Amino acid sequence: DLAGTTARTRAALNAHSAEVKLISGDLEADTLVESGGSVTAARAAQTENLVRPRPYASYPARRGAAPPSAEQRAKLASLKGMVDPASTVVITGFGEVGPWGDSWTRWEMERDGEFSIEGCVILAWMLGFIKYFNGPQPAAQGPPVHYSGWVDVSSGKPVSYWDVKETYEERILKCVGMRILDPAVLYGFDGSNTMMHHTVLLEQDLPPVEVDDGDIAREFSRQHGDLCEVTETAAGTWTVRMLK
């Protein structure tokens, strides 16, 4: 009876959690009364001291998938009681990586011809220009202050969310889209000096060409088979002749 055992275990955990929450609430109320004279006064003081940061721009809501039909839900009846939806993590979505970043930033460029603030934040993070930081930061005066947000990777200085586009957009555009390969990030590979292969049709046999040694001559023979004539001369040199 796995479902029954799971339900009983969950009920016991929920009861213990409720008890702990009540105790924690009482302790919090005692602390508020001691600090502010009453719970209401202490709550009001906390509200006045709240820091209200500038709101972030956000993506428009995305259209989700249609909810499952009654027939689809009926097939899951045997799983009832096995999982607690309130505490179950569900991961959904899809991934895309291309010249313009992920699917969202690629669509921004196709639709608008430029990146939004959110798009620049995503790409600046993907390209290693910024990173998330949560901890003490040196203040202009006095002791360090706690900071949670983006910082510049090279300098470690905080970067405001709404300043990312202005600060990094030029560098981002140099690293996205169709562009010349950079040997510095491709382990020395230089696309401008890449060996090119081209098919040539011979209309007549070519004259023999001397090569350095027999190994090179045999390599020509392996590549071209009967269309390559390899000869060792009386002087000990090797020649290769391409046939039509």
User: Is the distance from CB of 241 to CB of 205 less than 8 angstroms?
Assistant: yes
- Is a pLDDT exceeding 60 seen at residue 207? yes
pLDDT digits over 123-143, tens only? 999 999 999 999 888 776 778
- Is a pLDDT exceeding 70 seen at residue 108? yes
Q: Residues 109-123: what's their mean pLDDT? A: 92
For all residues of the chain together, what is the average pLDDT?
84
- Is a pLDDT exceeding 80 seen at residue 192? no
pLDDT of residue 63: 56
Is the pTM higher than 0.75? The answer reads no
Alpha-carbon span 126 to 116, nearest angstrom: 15
CA 163 to chain CA centroid, Å, is: 21
User: Is the distance from CB of 224 to CB of 242 less than 8 angstroms?
Assistant: yes
More confident site: 192 or 100: 100
For 111-138, letters b (16+ CB in 10 Å) and e give eeeebebbbbbbbbbbbebbeebeeeee
pLDDT of residue 145: 84
User: Is the distance from CB of 122 to CB of 104 less than 8 angstroms?
Assistant: yes
- Is a pLDDT exceeding 70 seen at residue 162? yes
- Is a pLDDT exceeding 90 seen at residue 60? no
pLDDT digits over 165-181, tens only? 999 999 999 989 987 77
Cβ burial of 108 (10 Å; 0-12, 13-18, 19+) is buried
User: Is the distance from CB of 57 to CB of 118 less than 8 angstroms?
Assistant: yes
Q: Residues 68-91: what's their mean pLDDT? A: 81
Q: Residues 144-168: what's their mean pLDDT? A: 91
Alpha-carbon span 80 to 90, nearest angstrom: 17
The fraction of the chain above a pLDDT of 90, given in percent, is 30
The fraction of the chain above a pLDDT of 70, given in percent, is 91
- Is a pLDDT exceeding 80 seen at residue 54? no
Alpha-carbon span 165 to 123, nearest angstrom: 10
pLDDT of residue 240: 92
User: Is the distance from CB of 190 to CB of 183 less than 8 angstroms?
Assistant: yes
Q: Residues 184-190: what's their mean pLDDT? A: 79
- Is a pLDDT exceeding 60 seen at residue 57? no
Q: Residues 109-117: what's their mean pLDDT? A: 91
pLDDT of residue 127: 92
For residue 211, CA distances in Å to 200, 202, 239 come to 20, 20, 6
